[in-house]
């Protein structure tokens, strides 16, 4: 059910020509995808997400609050989610670090929410205004304890817009936090963005529990939900709990069943969650492949095209879903290859993951320092590997 | 075509690159616009890059430029080396003195008195960037004048649309006289 004021807002928005920063495209995508509540704290290079939502979200019938810090921001969206709202926050590395504990809380309490991390060069304050992809493993394992997580990496301003639909829908379908893993490069380039006609927008919704039904367990991997104000007594806790939500932190079986179910509800639905894009060279004889994601996928693909123009067969795979990891797709992609090159703006975080599932040699083409790879740098790495 | 604007915050460097970029989008081109600036709101070095192409754009931060528009001496000195051979350098001669020893050989240099013209003709030196935008576009035919006019009108503060468009048109006139 899309709110009337939202429809009116989108009607006057969609048909214009949009030339947007990735951050702005992400914010508009959130409004389109039905974000009702945003709470955040400004930080380069994510501030434009909050800036745009502060100006626009109220016009679309939503609410935007600047909180005192990132801990409060994620706390606010988790609380708001339990009223049935679609919720989001946006930050960068230092703020993302502060949010980790509550990301775990959202996982454990099965609270749908979207966390945008526009990655910048770290650790710590690092190069505050420079892009990086150093939070990939933090997105996976930043919060403690066993868990699965979803994260998406856009490679264009258009994809910053488009992927917000996936983020909000998957958060609702699987009752879990979803991470929009942008980078400062994509967040701060401006490109043309096409929006959808509002009447064609489809949104998933949370499965509703029947009165008296358990909200934190039961026969399904994803239990139905009731929200505050809908008549149920709800106990929401980050401690290990029974299907009815009440704490039981001592019975091994209760913890085992709960945490395994939280893991399985994402792991067993990988097929529905994972999206990759592949471009296999026409010759079909490639011995070498390139896998990349986010901003780095752009020059990586440019380098693949340049190598092909020289008559070299090179395959290409772009991870759109970074987590859960596209292990079957990577295994398949690697099947006839001798080498896979993995350009990324970190010291090889995804290349090691690829090595786990690829039966060939994996070469990390890492770069840090705040300047993205050039096409030529990746092209040279391809030529080097071919020698 | 890769165009880089450099100057200091407050000269409308980022705005110029935005206007050029959106104009090219309206003309049906693929465009990536990129910017960098210091944490100061005014006075820090400021850059705006625009990549315009008929094909998909893979390199988001290009290393070589076809055109450099420089509105400060340090900006010119720092970035002129990244101009491609046979590239075009456009400077505001009230603010930048090109140095034959620094500029790569083979580039074409155009020094125009944009700031002086803006302040004499319009009483507002802030529109110097619009003069340069019109001049550059007339010289290189990057986008249609129609798109440029339209985008300027929708991108500048209310009440200054006419002034900014006039300044851009003045730049076109100047280029015609020069050629």
Interatomic CA distance for residues B2 and A377, integer angstroms: 19
Q: Is A248 helix (H, G, I), strand (E, B) or coil?
A: coil
Q: Do B61 and A19 touch (CB under 8 A)?
A: no
Query: Do you find a cis peptide bond into A74, omega within 30 degrees of 0?
Result: no
A47 and A168 housed in the same domain: yes
User: Which residues in chain B are contacts of A190 at CB distance < 8 A?
Assistant: 18, 21, 31-35
A76 and A188 housed in the same domain: yes
**How sure is the predictor about B178, in pLDDT bands with cuts at 50, 70 and 90?**
confident
How many helices (H) does chain B have, and how many strands (E)? Answer: 6, 6
Res B41: pLDDT:
57
**How sure is the predictor about B45, in pLDDT bands with cuts at 50, 70 and 90?**
confident
The angle at the Cα of B175, spanning B116 to B104, to the nearest 5 degrees, equals: 85
Question: Above 70 in pLDDT, residue B40?
Answer: no
Identify the residue whose tokens are 């190598």. A307
Res B69: pLDDT:
97
A17 and A124 housed in the same domain: yes
A288 neighbors A315 (Cβ within 8 angstroms): yes
Angle between helices B145-155 and B13-26 (to 10 degrees): 130
Q: Is B44 helix (H, G, I), strand (E, B) or coil?
A: coil
Is the alpha carbon torsion for B152, B158, B164, B169 positive or negative? positive
Last residue of a domain, one of A200, A226, A243: A200
Q: Mean pLDDT across chain B, nearest whole number? A: 93
CATH number at residue A332: 3.40.50.920
- Chain B, residues 57-76, CB within 8 A of chain A, namely 57-63
The closest CB to that of B60, out of A129, A185, A303, belongs to: A185
The closest CB to that of A299, out of B26, B36, B58, belongs to: B58
A188 and A58 housed in the same domain: yes
Q: Do A298 and B34 touch (CB under 8 A)?
A: no
Nearest to A237 by CA among A228, A249, A229: A249
CATH number at residue A80: 3.40.50.970
Q: Which are the contacts of A291, defined by CB distance < 8 A and separation ≥ 6?
A: A316, A317, A318, A319, A330, A333, A340, A341, A342, A350, A354
Res A178: pLDDT:
98
Res B39: pLDDT:
62
Identify the residue whose tokens are 């034959």. B100
Can you list the domains of chain B with their CATH numbers? 2-178 (3.40.920.10)
How distant, in Å, are the alpha carbons of A64, A78, A107, A139, A242 from that of A263? 32, 20, 10, 15, 16
B25 neighbors A17 (Cβ within 8 angstroms): yes
Residues B137-148 have pLDDT tens digits of 999 999 999 999
The closest CB to that of B25, out of A192, A299, A372, belongs to: A192
Q: How many angstroms away from the CA of A316 is the closest CA of chain B?
A: 14
- Chain B, residues 16-35, CB within 8 A of chain A, namely 18, 21-22, 25-26, 30-35
Q: Do A129 and B39 touch (CB under 8 A)?
A: yes
A16 and A128 housed in the same domain: yes
Structural domain total, chain A: 2
Q: Do B59 and A301 touch (CB under 8 A)?
A: no
Q: Is A356 helix (H, G, I), strand (E, B) or coil?
A: helix
Nearest to A112 by CA among A91, A95, A87, A89: A87
Identify the residue whose tokens are 């465009």. B31
For A269, list phi and psi in degrees, rounded to 5. -110, 20
Q: Do A17 and B26 touch (CB under 8 A)?
A: yes
Interatomic CA distance for residues B114 and B178, integer angstroms: 13
Which chain A residue is nearest to residue B26, measuring alpha carbons?
A17
Task: Give me the half-sphere count of Cα atoms (radius 13 Å) on the Cβ side of residue A209.
Answer: 26
How distant, in Å, are the alpha carbons of B51, B70, B109 from that of B135? 18, 13, 13
| CA end-to-end span of chain B | 21
Domain limits for position A351: 276-386
User: Which residues in chain B are contacts of A188 at CB distance < 8 A?
Assistant: 34-35
A58 and A192 housed in the same domain: yes
Interface of A with B (CB under 8 A): 17, 19, 129, 185, 188-192, 295, 298-299, 301-303, 305, 371-372, 374-376
Q: Do B36 and A129 touch (CB under 8 A)?
A: yes
The verdict on residue A208 lying in a domain is: no
Last residue of a domain, one of A200, A225, A246: A200
* A327 alpha carbon, distance to own chain's centre: 17
Name the burial class of residue A195, with classes exposed (0-12), middle (13-18) and buried (19+) by CB atoms within 10 angstroms of its CB: buried
The closest CB to that of A191, out of B31, B36, B59, belongs to: B31
Q: Which are the contacts of A380, defined by CB distance < 8 A and separation ≥ 6?
A: none
Q: Do A19 and B21 touch (CB under 8 A)?
A: yes
The verdict on residue A252 lying in a domain is: no
The verdict on residue A78 lying in a domain is: yes
A175 and A320 housed in the same domain: no
A194 and A302 housed in the same domain: no
Which chain B residue is nearest to residue A301, measuring alpha carbons?
B58
Which chain A residue is nearest to residue B32, measuring alpha carbons?
A191
User: Which residues in chain B are contacts of A303 at CB distance < 8 A?
Assistant: 58
A27 and A134 housed in the same domain: yes
Last residue of a domain, one of A174, A200, A226: A200
Which residue positions in chain A have pLDDT lower than 70?
A: 1-2
Q: Mean pLDDT across chain A, nearest whole number? A: 96
How many helices (H) does chain A have, and how many strands (E)? Answer: 14, 15
Res A1: pLDDT:
47
Q: Which ranges of A175-269 would DSSP assign to H, the alpha helix?
A: 184-188, 252-267
Residues B10-32 have pLDDT tens digits of 889 999 999 999 999 999 999 99
A184 and A282 housed in the same domain: no
Residues A340-378 have pLDDT tens digits of 999 999 999 999 999 999 999 999 999 999 999 999 999
Interatomic CA distance for residues B143 and B23, integer angstroms: 6
Cβ–Cβ contact B140 with A under 8 A: no
A93 neighbors A47 (Cβ within 8 angstroms): no
Beta-strand runs (E) in chain B: 2-8, 30-37, 45-53, 65-70, 83-92, 108-112
Tokens (6 digits) for A238: 């980050």
A106 and A195 housed in the same domain: yes
A286 and A137 housed in the same domain: no
Interatomic CA distance for residues A157 and A190, integer angstroms: 7
Q: Do A19 and B39 touch (CB under 8 A)?
A: no
Q: Is A202 helix (H, G, I), strand (E, B) or coil?
A: coil
User: Which residues in chain A are contacts of B35 at CB distance < 8 A?
Assistant: 188, 190
User: Which residues in chain A are contacts of B33 at CB distance < 8 A?
Assistant: 19, 189-191
**How sure is the predictor about B9, in pLDDT bands with cuts at 50, 70 and 90?**
confident
The verdict on residue A216 lying in a domain is: no
Mean pLDDT, rounded, for B74-85: 93
The verdict on residue A224 lying in a domain is: no
Task: Give me the half-sphere count of Cα atoms (radius 13 Å) on the Cβ side of residue A158.
Answer: 10
Q: Which are the contacts of A233, defined by CB distance < 8 A and separation ≥ 6?
A: none
């Amino acid at each position: 059910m899309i709110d009337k004021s939202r429809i009116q807002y989108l009607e006057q928005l969609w048909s214009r020509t949009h030339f947007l920063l990735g951050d702005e495209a992400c914010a508009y995508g959130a409004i389109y995808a039905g974000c009702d509540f945003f709470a955040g704290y400004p930080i380069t290079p994510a501030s434009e997400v909050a800036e745009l939502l502060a100006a626009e979200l109220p016009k679309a019938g939503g609410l935007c609050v600047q909180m005192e810090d990132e801990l409060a921001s994620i706390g606010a969206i988790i609380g708001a989610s339990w009223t049935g709202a679609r919720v989001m926050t946006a930050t960068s590395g230092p703020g993302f670090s502060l949010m980790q504990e509550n990301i775990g809380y959202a996982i454990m309490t099965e609270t749908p929410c979207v966390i945008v991390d526009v990655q910048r060069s770290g650790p710590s304050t690092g190069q505050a205004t420079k892009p990086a992809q150093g939070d990939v493993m933090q997105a996976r394992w930043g919060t403690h304890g066993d868990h699965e997580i979803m994260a998406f990496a856009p490679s264009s301003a258009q994809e910053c817009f488009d992927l917000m639909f996936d983020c909000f829908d998957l958060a609702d379908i699987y009752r879990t936090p979803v991470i929009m893993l942008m980078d400062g490069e994509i967040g701060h380039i401006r490109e043309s963005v096409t929006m959808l006609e509002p009447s064609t927008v489809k949104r998933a919704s949370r499965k509703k529990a029947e009165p008296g039904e358990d909200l934190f367990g039961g026969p399904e991997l994803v239990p139905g939900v009731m929200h505050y104000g809908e008549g149920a007594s709800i106990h929401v806790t980050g401690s290990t709990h029974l299907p009815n939500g009440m704490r039981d932190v001592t019975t091994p079986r209760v913890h085992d069943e709960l945490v395994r179910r939280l893991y399985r509800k994402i792991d067993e639905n990988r097929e529905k969650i994972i999206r990759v894009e592949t471009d296999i060279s026409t010759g079909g004889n490639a011995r070498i492949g390139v896998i990349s994601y986010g901003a780095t996928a752009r020059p990586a693909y440019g380098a693949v095209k340049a190598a092909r123009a020289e008559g070299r067969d090179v395959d290409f795979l772009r991870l759109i879903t970074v987590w859960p990891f596209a292990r079957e797709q990577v295994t398949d992609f690697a099947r006839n290859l001798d080498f896979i090159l993995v350009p990324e703006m970190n010291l090889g975080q995804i290349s090691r993951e690829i090595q786990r599932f690829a039966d060939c040699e994996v070469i990390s083409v890492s770069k840090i320092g705040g300047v993205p790879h050039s096409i030529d740098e990746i092209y040279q790495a391809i030529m080097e590997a071919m020698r | 075509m890769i165009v880089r604007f450099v100057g200091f915050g407050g000269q409308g460097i980022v705005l110029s690159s935005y206007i050029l970029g959106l104009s090219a989008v309206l003309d049906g081109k693929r465009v990536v616009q990129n910017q960098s600036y210091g944490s100061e709101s005014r006075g820090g070095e400021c850059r705006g890059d625009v990549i315009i192409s008929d094909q998909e754009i893979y390199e988001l931060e290009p290393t070589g430029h076809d055109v450099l528009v420089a509105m400060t001496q340090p900006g010119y000195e720092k970035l002129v080396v990244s101009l491609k051979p046979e590239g075009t350098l456009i400077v505001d001669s009230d603010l930048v003195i090109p140095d034959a020893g620094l500029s790569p050989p083979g580039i074409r240099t155009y020094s125009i008195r944009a700031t002086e013209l803006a302040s004499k003709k319009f009483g507002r030196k802030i529109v110097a960037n619009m003069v340069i935008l019109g001049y550059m576009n007339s010289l290189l035919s990057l986008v249609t004048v129609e798109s440029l006019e339209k985008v300027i009108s929708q991108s500048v503060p209310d009440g200054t649309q006419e002034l900014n468009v006039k300044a851009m048109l003045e730049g076109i006139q100047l280029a015609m006289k020069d050629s």
